[in-house]
Amino acid sequence: MEERCVPVHDRTLWSAAYGEDKAGTVLLIAGANASGYMWPDAFVDGLVERGLRVIRYDHRDTGRSTCQAFEASPYTLEDLASDAIGILDAWAVERAHVVGLSVGATLGQVMALDHPDRLHSLVLMCGAALDVDFVGNIVRALSGEQAQDGLPLPDKAVLEALADRATPSASLEEELDRRVKEWRLLAGEGGAFDAADFRSREARCIAHAGTWVQPGNHAMATPVPLARGEALRLTRVPTLVIQGMLDPLNPPPHGRHLAERMGNARLLEVAEMGHCLPAVLLPRLVEEVAAHVARSQDQDGGA
């Protein structure tokens, strides 16, 4: 592993690279308010074993990256997507295979619109299309209103659990308990879940960040304008959309809706998957991502 803290815009972002670029470079983009260690080591290692170079990084205001009061330095989700391009620049990666989860999938869509020349391929996990009013849907779910776009709303109980982040934990053990409970809900009812594994992952995330206080600034970032979703049909970046069939935040058919909006996408539905990456599913996810990378490399001649 090689670590770098690199200047991107007005911030310094922590990043790390693993493996050699024999079959291409994969950039992992974490979800909202999550550091690069959201990605399990087994997932990273599995891709490296297939000859891929993997880069993960801490979003601004997470982990070891620069953290600032949002009011002093507000930003948009499109700025977060620009940060990802800054990471590619810092590592001298001309084109990458981008894998994003949740908000990371949102940022991947923005990159496909604004920087298609920097992408070999996309993998969009547990995400919603840019034309979905996710912020408005949160409000509607919490207030008991109906969806306006015909797609299912996020689960109210999960949203209420996520809101508990605003109450500081009194100890590390209490914080780990809260985070494991949150992940259990995100795994979906009956979904694959190993509490001990997620507890270990979160302990590492906390050690990496140097604090158990969970960041929350991304919730205040200005969303991507819904009108941008219309342009997704013009994208030609080879895209794999992965839908967790038990995802409580973006339930099916959100994945199908997203795949249909993209100009060059296929859909993978995973029965036991919610809105997280359980250990038991990592081997399959590694295989699916690696196969998608190989297909996209073949399509463009490995350029």
Catalytic residues: 102, 247, 275
Q: CA-CA distance, 287 to 44, in Å (whole number)? A: 12
Q: What is the DSSP string of 84-132?
A: HHHHHHHTT-SSEEEEEETHHHHHHHHHHHH-GGGEEEEEEES---TTS
Residues in the chain: 303
Q: Which position has the token pair 């996408």?
A: 265
Partners of 100 in the beta sheet? 29, 124
Q: CA-CA distance, 281 to 279, in Å (whole number)? A: 5
Q: CA-CA distance, 99 to 141, in Å (whole number)? A: 28
**What residues have CB less than 8 Å from 246, skipping those under 6 apart?**
187, 188, 189, 190, 191, 271, 272, 273, 274
Q: Which position has the token pair 């990471």?
A: 87
The dihedral of CA 163, 191, 99, 206: what is its sign?
Answer: positive
For 153, the token pair is 């709303």
